[in-house]
């Protein structure tokens, strides 16, 4: 077999606390964070979000066509859950029994048993979910399918009976699918304008979702000519944060189902708010100012009613989750994707996978509601998602190494960097 050499260059960078002025009522940690260990765990394919189970001491990693299960005490992969087309995120229930995995290419949510790690259910949802969140008060799982522009298609044709043809799929519309965690079944499907992205529950009945900007086109039917459906208006949806009241949503689903007891159950309840504002009792929007033009992931401090939103302009926006007011705006780094919050230590971590890769560490002082960047830790390229172990205070990131195949001849600009087989690893950050 012909073997291609790979060459990788790793730069060791000093780890030091940031020397920028620190606001009052904020103290630097007694010693800075650093990369304690790197666990090579291998595996193939792209990866996405990480989820930490502090009770079982397990780190779940959505990695291509499988979910890797890492024992954080041993630093080893102890199991692999297969059967996915494209695993994105893992949500855990509050009973320690079930895990839910969003599978984008399969348009489904997988359910597995957290004790045996065996599959329990496969739930089709007819859209491609990425983010997923479990809400403990309502026992609902929310799977988020972001807005995707429809592919080019032929104009819809009327049926032979002369019935109105179905409209082409609208762009700028997201689906949020509610799943009953106990019944393992879809109970509602919400159509909402905007690009819904990352969801996080606050533990008190609310689910917050970052909503990116989207261009939504309204359609009307005229039934003449070659195109029966015509575009009449562009509506640019501004970036914002959506708060879903899970308990109120569960009650509304129950009310609608109970209103027709004579009708057999034929499927989930559909809410179409693609061209109208949803009731504020169910979905409430928090506006985002210029401090966050394109929100990505977020973390929630439910106790102090604070949201930590990673923005693609190298910023972390701290918001009041009741009013949406910006409390603070801090500089992070390129490619900031996923933040995480350690409530016990009042620390916010932001993974910046762009450029050389870094981890921004922010100290919260809840008494004075002040925030300060206390350290920017160099990590590795593409280390853009993370999970926090609240029991130990350690932070986990994942990435891989890339190299160049020098056996393939070519001119300037033809060299291609490819993942080095077996180089996928977990970075352990701590004191």
pLDDT at res. 238: 87
* 175 sits in which H/E element: strand 173-180
Where does the pLDDT of residue 5 fall: very low under 50, low under 70, confident under 90, or very high at 90 and above?
Answer: very low
The CATH code of the domain that includes 329 is 2.130.10.10
Distance separating alpha carbons of residues 145 and 163, to the nearest angstrom: 30
Domain that holds residue 341: 1-32+288-431
Where does the pLDDT of residue 152 fall: very low under 50, low under 70, confident under 90, or very high at 90 and above?
Answer: very low
Per the prediction, the chain carries an average pLDDT of: 85
Q: Residue 160 pLDDT more than 90? A: no
pLDDT at res. 264: 57
Where does the pLDDT of residue 266 fall: very low under 50, low under 70, confident under 90, or very high at 90 and above?
Answer: low
**Does residue 135 form part of some domain?**
no
Share of the chain above pLDDT 90, in %: 69
**Does residue 83 form part of some domain?**
no
**Does residue 172 form part of some domain?**
no
Q: Residue 21 pLDDT more than 80? A: no
**Mean per-residue pLDDT, 334-342:** 94
User: Which distant-in-sequence residues (6+ apart) come within 8 Å of 100 by Cβ?
Assistant: 90, 91, 92, 93, 109, 110, 111, 132, 134, 141, 179, 181
**Does residue 3 form part of some domain?**
yes
Where does the pLDDT of residue 31 fall: very low under 50, low under 70, confident under 90, or very high at 90 and above?
Answer: confident
**Mean per-residue pLDDT, 99-111:** 97
**Does residue 132 form part of some domain?**
no
Nearest Cα to Cα of residue 345 among 431, 236, 244: 431
pLDDT per residue as tens digits for the range 173-205: 999 999 999 999 999 999 999 999 999 999 999
- Give the neighbor-by-neighbor strand order of the sheet with 425-430: 34-40, 425-430, 395-399, 386-388
Where does the pLDDT of residue 325 fall: very low under 50, low under 70, confident under 90, or very high at 90 and above?
Answer: very high
Which structure tokens are listed for 33?
């964070």
**Does residue 306 form part of some domain?**
yes
Distance separating alpha carbons of residues 337 and 256, to the nearest angstrom: 38
Where does the pLDDT of residue 169 fall: very low under 50, low under 70, confident under 90, or very high at 90 and above?
Answer: very low
pLDDT per residue as tens digits for the range 365-413: 999 999 999 999 999 999 999 999 999 999 999 999 988 776 776 666 6
**Mean per-residue pLDDT, 228-247:** 76
pLDDT per residue as tens digits for the range 290-322: 778 899 999 999 999 999 999 988 999 999 999
pLDDT at res. 34: 96
* 252 sits in which H/E element: helix 246-258
**Does residue 122 form part of some domain?**
no
What pTM was computed for the model? 0.84
**Does residue 21 form part of some domain?**
yes
Nearest Cα to Cα of residue 269 among 279, 255, 282, 283: 255
Angle at 395 between CA 115 and CA 81, to 5 degrees: 30
Instruction: Give how many domains the chain has, as a whole number.
Output: 1
């Amino acid at each position: 077999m012909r073997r291609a050499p790979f060459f990788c260059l790793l730069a060791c960078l000093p780890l030091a606390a940031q020397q920028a002025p620190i606001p009052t009522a904020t103290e630097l940690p007694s010693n800075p964070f650093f990369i304690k260990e790197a666990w090579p765990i291998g595996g193939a394919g792209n990866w996405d979000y990480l989820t930490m189970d502090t009770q079982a001491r397990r780190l779940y990693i959505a990695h291509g066509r499988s979910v890797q299960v890492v024992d954080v005490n041993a630093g080893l992969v102890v199991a692999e859950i297969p059967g996915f087309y494209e695993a994105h995120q893992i949500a855990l229930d509050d009973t320690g029994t079930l895990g839910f995995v969003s599978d984008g290419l399969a348009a489904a949510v997988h359910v597995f048993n957290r004790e045996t790690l065996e599959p329990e259910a496969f739930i089709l949802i007819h859209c491609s979910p990425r983010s997923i969140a479990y809400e403990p008060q309502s026992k609902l799982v929310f799977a988020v399918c972001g807005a995707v522009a429809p592919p080019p298609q032929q104009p819809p044709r009327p049926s032979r009976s002369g019935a109105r043809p179905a409209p082409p799929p609208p762009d700028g519309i997201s689906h949020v699918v509610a799943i009953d965690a106990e019944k393992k079944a879809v109970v509602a499907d919400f159509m909402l304008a905007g690009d819904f992205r990352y969801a996080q529950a606050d533990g008190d009945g609310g689910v917050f979702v970052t909503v990116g900007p989207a261009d939504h086109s309204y359609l009307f039917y005229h039934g003449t000519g070659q195109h029966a459906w015509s575009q009449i208006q562009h509506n640019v949806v501004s970036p914002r944060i959506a708060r879903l009241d899970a308990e109120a949503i569960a009650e509304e689903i129950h009310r609608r189902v109970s209103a027709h007891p004579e009708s057999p159950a034929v499927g989930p309840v559909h809410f179409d708010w693609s061209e109208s504002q949803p009731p504020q009792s169910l979905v409430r929007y928090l506006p985002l100012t210029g401090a966050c033009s394109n929100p990505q992931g977020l973390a929630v401090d439910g106790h102090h009613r604070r949201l930590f939103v990673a923005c693609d302009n190298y910023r972390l926006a701290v918001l009041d989750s009741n009013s949406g007011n910006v409390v603070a705006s801090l500089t992070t780094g390129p490619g900031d994707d996923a933040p995480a919050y350690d409530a016990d230590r009042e620390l916010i971590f932001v993974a910046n996978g762009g450029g050389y890769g870094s981890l921004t560490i922010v100290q919260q002082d809840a008494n004075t509601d002040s925030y300060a960047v206390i350290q920017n830790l160099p990590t590795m390229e593409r280390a853009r998602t993370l999970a926090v172990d609240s029991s130990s205070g350690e932070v986990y990131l994942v990435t891989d190494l890339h190299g160049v195949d020098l056996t393939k001849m070519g001119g300037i600009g033809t060299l291609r960097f490819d993942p080095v087989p077996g180089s996928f690893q977990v970075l352990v950050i701590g004191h």
